[in-house]
C-alpha cells in the first residue's frame, strides 16, 4: 500500500498543490513553518479522518477559503484508488471514493497510516486521554466499523452526563437515566472488548520494538486498565456482552456519586493504556530518553501489527504508510540506527525534516524541498535553505 499522488486545495498553507511520491522513501525538507508537515497531515487525515496536530478541522482550511480538499491516489493490491475528503466549515464534510460520493467514514480502512511525531511523547508522559485516542485509532484501523460505536458512545455519554447534572431535581424519577445506562453499557462493552483485543495483539510487538531501539534498558510492557472492578481481570477474549453486563452493574453501583458530581464515573472514557518499564510505570519514572523509546516502540509496534494483520477486509496488502514527522532531530544516533533497521523493508515511508542531514542516508530516499507553500523536487530547488534556530 502506498500513496502515489496527493492534491491539496486550500488545505493549510496550500492553495493548489500536487505532489508525486516515488516508491519507498520520500523526505520533505524545509524550514519550520514552510508547510512540510501540512503535506503528511493531509495523508493522515485521509486515513484517520483526524489530524495528529489539532483537534478540530478549522485550522486545516486555508485562511479565507470556503473549504479545503485533500485528494490522494493510493496503490493497493495492484490497483489504483482515489480517495477524497472535503472539509466544509459549518457543514458536514463530504467524501469520494473513486468517482462515487461516499460518507467520510467510508474512507476508514482504505488507506492506513502510522504517524510518529514529537507530540507522541505525551503518550508516555501525558494524560490518559491521549493514550485512549491512540488505542481507539488502532482499533478502528483493525476494525473500521468500530468508528460508529465510538461516535455513538461519545453522543450517549454527553446525553447521560447532561442528565446527571439535572438528576438532583428529578424527584426520584430516574427512568430515563436507566435507559441511557443500558445504551452506554452496550456500546462501552463493545469498545472495551475491541481495546482488550488490540492491546493483547500489540503487546508483543511493543516489547520487541523497545528491545530493538533501547537494548539493555529493560523491558517495556503494555496493558489495559479498566474502570470496572480490578478483580475482574478482563482477558482479550472476554465477550463484549459480558463486559457490558459488568459495566451496567458498575454504573448502578456508582450512581449516587455520579449524581452528586454530575459526571459519568465508569466506562471506556475512564480507562487507560498502561505502559511499564520493568516493574515501574513509565509515566513518572522513565527518563526522557526512555520515554522517547517507549513512544517509538508504540508506533513501531503498531506498524508491525497492522502489517501482520493485513487489511480490514482480509486484504494481504494492509501494510500502512509510515509517517515520521520531524522526529529525527529528537533521536540519538543509536535510536536512529535502530529505526533505519526496523524499516528496511517498509513499502512507503514519508519523512519531514528541517535539514536533510537529520535523516540517516540509508533512509533519506527521494528529497522534496518545501518553501513558501510550494513543494518541488530537490533537483529543481535552489541552494540549501537557512534553517530556523
> For residue 169, what pLDDT is reported?
66
Cβ atoms < 10 Å from Cβ of 239: 10
Q: Find the distance separating the first CA and the last CA of the chain, reported in whole Å.
A: 36
Please indicate, yes or no, whether residues 348 and 220 belong to a single structural domain of this protein.
Answer: no
When pLDDT is averaged across residues 209-218 and rounded to a whole number, the result is 88
Looking at 310, 334, 352, the residue that finishes a domain is: 310
**Could you tell me how far CA 326 lies from the centroid of its own chain?**
16
Given a contact cutoff of 8 angstroms between Cβ atoms, the answer to whether 331 and 292 are in contact is yes
Q: To 10 degrees, what angle do helices 175-213 and 146-166 make?
A: 130
Return the percentage of the chain with pLDDT > 70, whole number: 93
Give the confidence band of 217 by pLDDT, cuts at 50, 70, 90: confident
Containing structural domain, residue 303: 119-310
50-61 pLDDT, tens digit each: 999 998 999 999
Give the confidence band of 218 by pLDDT, cuts at 50, 70, 90: confident
Looking at 266, 286, 310, the residue that finishes a domain is: 310
Given a contact cutoff of 8 angstroms between Cβ atoms, the answer to whether 97 and 81 are in contact is yes
Please indicate, yes or no, whether residues 233 and 84 belong to a single structural domain of this protein.
Answer: no
Give the confidence band of 329 by pLDDT, cuts at 50, 70, 90: confident
Please indicate, yes or no, whether residues 164 and 184 belong to a single structural domain of this protein.
Answer: yes
237-290 pLDDT, tens digit each: 889 999 999 999 999 999 999 988 889 999 999 999 999 999 999 999 999 989
Please indicate, yes or no, whether residues 326 and 306 belong to a single structural domain of this protein.
Answer: no
Query: Does pLDDT of 193 surpass 60?
Result: yes
Give the confidence band of 388 by pLDDT, cuts at 50, 70, 90: very low
Q: To 10 degrees, what angle do helices 175-213 and 128-142 make?
A: 90
> For residue 381, what pLDDT is reported?
39
Query: Does pLDDT of 65 surpass 90?
Result: yes
When pLDDT is averaged across residues 3-19 and rounded to a whole number, the result is 95
Domain count across the chain: 2
- CATH code where residue 339 lies: 3.40.50.300
Please indicate, yes or no, whether residues 202 and 290 belong to a single structural domain of this protein.
Answer: yes
Please indicate, yes or no, whether residues 47 and 132 belong to a single structural domain of this protein.
Answer: no
Please indicate, yes or no, whether residues 123 and 263 belong to a single structural domain of this protein.
Answer: yes
Looking at 310, 339, 363, the residue that finishes a domain is: 310
Please indicate, yes or no, whether residues 25 and 141 belong to a single structural domain of this protein.
Answer: no
Give the confidence band of 312 by pLDDT, cuts at 50, 70, 90: low
Query: Does pLDDT of 314 surpass 60?
Result: no
- CATH code where residue 206 lies: 1.20.1050.90
Q: b or e along 292-307 (b: 16 or more beta carbons within 10 Å of the residue's beta carbon)?
A: bbbbbbbbbbbbbbbb
> What is the Cα–Cα distance from 113 to 107, expressed in whole angstroms?
12
> For residue 383, what pLDDT is reported?
38
> For residue 384, what pLDDT is reported?
40
Given a contact cutoff of 8 angstroms between Cβ atoms, the answer to whether 356 and 364 are in contact is yes
> For residue 173, what pLDDT is reported?
63
Please indicate, yes or no, whether residues 107 and 3 belong to a single structural domain of this protein.
Answer: yes
141-184 pLDDT, tens digit each: 999 999 999 999 999 999 998 888 887 666 556 788 889 999 99
- The mean pLDDT of the chain is 89
Q: Which residues contact 269 (CB under 8 A, 6 or more apart)?
A: 132, 153, 157
> For residue 386, what pLDDT is reported?
39
Please indicate, yes or no, whether residues 21 and 105 belong to a single structural domain of this protein.
Answer: yes
Secondary structure string (H, E, C) spanning 90-124: CCCCEEEECCEEECHHHHECCECEEEECHHHHHHH
Please indicate, yes or no, whether residues 106 and 132 belong to a single structural domain of this protein.
Answer: no
When pLDDT is averaged across residues 119-138 and rounded to a whole number, the result is 95
Query: Does pLDDT of 45 surpass 70?
Result: yes
Residues 93, 97, 103, CA angle at the centre, nearest 5°?
Answer: 35
Please indicate, yes or no, whether residues 96 and 184 belong to a single structural domain of this protein.
Answer: no
Amino acid at each position: 500500500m502506498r500513496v502515489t499522488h496527493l492534491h491539496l486545495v486550500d488545505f493549510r498553507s496550500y492553495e493548489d498543490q500536487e505532489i508525486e511520491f516515488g516508491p519507498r522513501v520520500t523526505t520533505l525538507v524545509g524550514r519550520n513553518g514552510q508547510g512540510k508537515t501540512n503535506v503528511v497531515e493531509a495523508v493522515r487525515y485521509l486515513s484517520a479522518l483526524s489530524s495528529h496536530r489539532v483537534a478540530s478541522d478549522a485550522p486545516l482550511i486555508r485562511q479565507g477559503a470556503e473549504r479545503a480538499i485533500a485528494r490522494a491516489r493510493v496503490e493497493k493490491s495492484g490497483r489504483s484508488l482515489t480517495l477524497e475528503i472535503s472539509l466544509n466549515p459549518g457543514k458536514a464534510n463530504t467524501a469520494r471514493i473513486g468517482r462515487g460520493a461516499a460518507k467520510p467514514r467510508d474512507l476508514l480502512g482504505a488507506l492506513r497510516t502510522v504517524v510518529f511525531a514529537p507530540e507522541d511523547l505525551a503518550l508516555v508522559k501525558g494524560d490518559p486521554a491521549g493514550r485512549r485516542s491512540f488505542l481507539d485509532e488502532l482499533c478502528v484501523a483493525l476494525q473500521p466499523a468500530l468508528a460508529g460505536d465510538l461516535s455513538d458512545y461519545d453522543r450517549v455519554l454527553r446525553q447521560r452526563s447532561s442528565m446527571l447534572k439535572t438528576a438532583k431535581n428529578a424527584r426520584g424519577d430516574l427512568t430515563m437515566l436507566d435507559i441511557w445506562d443500558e445504551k452506554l453499557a452496550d456500546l462501552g462493552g463493545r469498545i472495551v472488548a475491541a481495546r482488550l483485543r488490540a492491546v493483547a495483539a500489540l503487546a508483543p510487538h511493543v516489547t520487541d520494538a523497545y528491545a530493538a531501539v533501547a537494548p539493555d534498558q529493560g523491558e517495556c510492557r503494555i496493558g489495559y486498565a479498566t474502570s470496572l472492578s480490578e478483580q475482574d481481570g478482563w482477558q482479550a477474549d472476554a465477550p463484549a456482552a459480558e463486559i457490558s453486563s459488568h459495566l451496567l452493574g458498575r454504573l448502578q453501583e456508582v450512581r449516587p456519586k455520579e449524581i452528586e458530581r454530575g459526571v459519568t464515573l465508569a466506562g471506556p472514557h475512564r480507562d487507560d493504556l498502561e505502559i511499564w518499564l520493568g516493574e515501574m510505570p513509565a509515566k513518572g519514572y522513565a527518563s526522557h530518553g526512555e520515554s522517547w523509546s517507549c513512544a517509538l516502540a508504540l508506533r513501531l509496534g503498531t506498524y508491525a501489527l497492522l502489517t501482520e494483520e493485513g487489511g480490514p477486509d482480509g486484504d494481504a496488502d494492509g501494510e500502512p504508510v509510515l509517517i515520521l514527522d520531524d522526529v529525527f532531530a529528537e533521536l540519538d544516533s543509536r535510536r536512529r540506527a535502530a529505526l533505519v533497521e526496523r524499516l528496511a523493508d517498509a513499502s512507503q515511508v514519508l519523512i519531514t525534516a528541517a535539514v536533510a542531514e537529520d535523516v540517516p542516508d540509508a533512509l533519506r530516499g527521494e528529497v522534496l524541498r518545501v518553501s513558501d507553500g510550494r513543494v518541488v523536487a530537490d533537483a529543481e530547488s535552489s541552494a540549501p535553505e537557512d534553517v530556523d534556530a
